[in-house]
Amino acid sequence: MQDLLTQNNFALRYDIEKLQRSLRDAQVNIPEELKPYAKWVINECEKLHQGILQNIRYLGFGQKNLLKDILSNTQSIANAFYILNQDQASPILRARTSDRLVLRLLLWLHTMHHQTKDIPAAVGDGEFSIWAIHPSIYYTPCTAQRGLLNLPLFFHEFGHLLYRCHRPEMNALVNELQAEIRGLLPPAVVRDDKYTAAQERKREVVVEKWYAWAQEFFCDAVGFMMGGNSFAYAFSMYLRILGKPQYHLSIENLARSSHPVTWIRIHLLADRARRIGYEGVSTDLEETWSQVAATLGVVEDYYGFYDSKFLFVIQDKLDDMLTETSPREFQESEISNQEESTLTSPVALLNRAWQKFIEDPDGYREWEEDAIEHFLDVDLGTFLT
């Protein structure tokens, strides 16, 4: 065991020191907005380095009674380093100047909520998603990092971080929603046979599925509450042409899916927009998705996993979840047709971008380049209200 632990600790020391050198080299050229995240990663790496050096010192004593504790420490350091090396260091080592656009939005986003203002954030390459821990990594497709139109989708991902910050309270609210949906499901026919048992199992599958689905609906609600029309348009355009699975899933795939069918999410977004007076975007969402569904030959059928009679209880519980987490709410002035010179927040910028794109898709690119340049030059502190 002494030799085994010696080998592992020296190998870990070598890898940690190699990563430390890479981080030091990369830190010279990273964007200013990434430095809080880089500082956290570098500090964590140094803690692991010191832990390994301590293990090596203890191994030098040659005492068997220390080996069990050294093994435990080595395992903990190895697991932490693998996460650091595989995931958390990557945003620093891949950093580029163009990251500033996303990083400035994320910095503003975290600063605007008291529970996330001290959580460093970074950007990584991949499908839209979030590593919703401290520190947070927001993943996005490569081209989406360089433009404005898809950035509102980060508001949805931020919702996952808010959920995590309030997990006990949010889980309790989701459980309440599950109970209410259970009450709305058709009762099982009592026949004392396999048919009745199968019906009851399906009811339980539906109720259980709503634990994961409710979290996605909540994050969509956060997205609209924070981003307004820009989120609705970004969400719709990003997903509406990805094929039939966005509109319909078989009953087997519904039971396995961690996300609700996107068409259901569109219904809830449209209803939420309509409830607060944004009839235009609500109608646009519903008509657009209905047109694509008709072209695909899709008829709505969710096999009992969703029904329009669920809508009121879902929205009511989502309102409670929004109250619990208190995300920043968009202002009417941020949705209106602001001039570029008077844009008051990133939300205003993103809504202006969508207005410009809808008005003139062909001429949008030139406008976007100028708008991004202006956003990167503005003191972010002017938006922290």
Per residue, the 3-state secondary structure of 149-208, as one string, reads CCCCHHHHHHHHHHHHHCHHHHHHHHHHHHHHHHHHCCCCCCCCCHHHHHHHHHHHHHHH
Residue 214 burial class via C-beta count within 10 angstroms: exposed 0-12, middle 13-18, buried 19 and up: buried
Cα atoms in the 13 Å half-sphere on the side-chain side of 304 = 20
The model carries a pTM of 0.93
Sign of CA dihedral 348, 354, 360, 361: positive
140 and 169 in one domain?
A: no
pLDDT at 379: 81
Domain range holding 266?
153-325
Q: And the tokens for 112?
A: 């605007």
For residue 11, the tally of other CB atoms under 10 A from its CB is 12
Give the domain-ending residue among 101, 126, 146. 146
The DSSP code for 122 is E
127 and 47 in one domain?
A: yes
pLDDT at 181: 95
Question: Please, where are the H alpha helices in the chain?
Answer: 2-27, 35-59, 67-83, 90-93, 100-111, 153-165, 167-184, 194-227, 229-239, 251-256, 262-275, 279-296, 311-325, 332-335, 346-359, 364-377
pLDDT at 190: 59
How far, in Å, CA of 231 to CA of 222, rounded? 10
pLDDT at 340: 59
* Helix-helix angle 311-325:167-184, to 10 degrees: 170
pLDDT at 189: 60
Q: 224-261 burial by CB neighbour count: b if 16+ within 10 A, else e?
A: bbbbbbbbbbbbbebbbeeeeebbbbeeeebeeeeebb
pLDDT at 384: 61
pLDDT at 200: 80
Q: And the tokens for 272?
A: 């939420």
363 and 216 in one domain?
A: no
| pLDDT of the chain, 385 residues: tens digit per residue | 888 999 999 999 999 999 999 999 999 899 999 999 999 999 999 999 999 999 999 999 988 899 999 999 999 999 999 999 999 999 999 999 999 999 999 999 999 999 999 999 999 999 999 999 899 999 999 999 999 999 999 999 999 999 999 999 999 999 999 999 999 988 766 566 666 677 788 889 999 999 999 999 999 999 999 999 999 999 999 999 999 999 999 999 999 998 999 999 999 999 999 999 999 999 999 999 999 999 999 999 999 999 999 999 999 999 999 999 999 999 999 998 666 555 789 999 999 999 999 999 999 999 999 999 999 998 877 676 5
Q: And the tokens for 185?
A: 């499901």
329 near 226, Cβ under 8 Å? yes
* Helix-helix angle 194-227:153-165, to 10 degrees: 110
Residue with tokens 């991902």: 157
90 and 70 in one domain?
A: yes
pLDDT at 322: 98
92 and 25 in one domain?
A: yes
259 and 176 in one domain?
A: yes
- Residue 184 backbone dihedrals phi, psi, to 5 degrees: -95, -10
Give the count of domains, the chain. Answer: 3
Question: In what helix (H) or strand (E) does residue 240 lie, and over which residues does it extend?
Answer: none
pLDDT at 201: 84
How far, in Å, CA of 236 to CA of 269, rounded? 10
How far, in Å, CA of 326 to CA of 341, rounded? 29
* Helix-helix angle 153-165:100-111, to 10 degrees: 40
pLDDT at 136: 97
346 and 309 in one domain?
A: no
104 and 66 in one domain?
A: yes
Tally the residues of the chain.
Answer: 385
247 near 263, Cβ under 8 Å? yes
218 and 176 in one domain?
A: yes
How far, in Å, CA of 178 to CA of 207, rounded? 6
Residue with tokens 């030799």: 3
210 and 117 in one domain?
A: no
How far, in Å, CA of 350 to CA of 92, rounded? 26
Task: List all residues 6 or more positions away from 275 whose beta carbon is below 8 Å from its beta carbon.
Answer: 315
Give the domain-ending residue among 325, 345, 366. 325
343 and 276 in one domain?
A: no
pLDDT at 357: 97
186 and 216 in one domain?
A: yes
Nearest partner of 41 among 10, 86, 104, judged by Cα: 86
Residue with tokens 């420490």: 73
Give the domain-ending residue among 146, 170, 188. 146
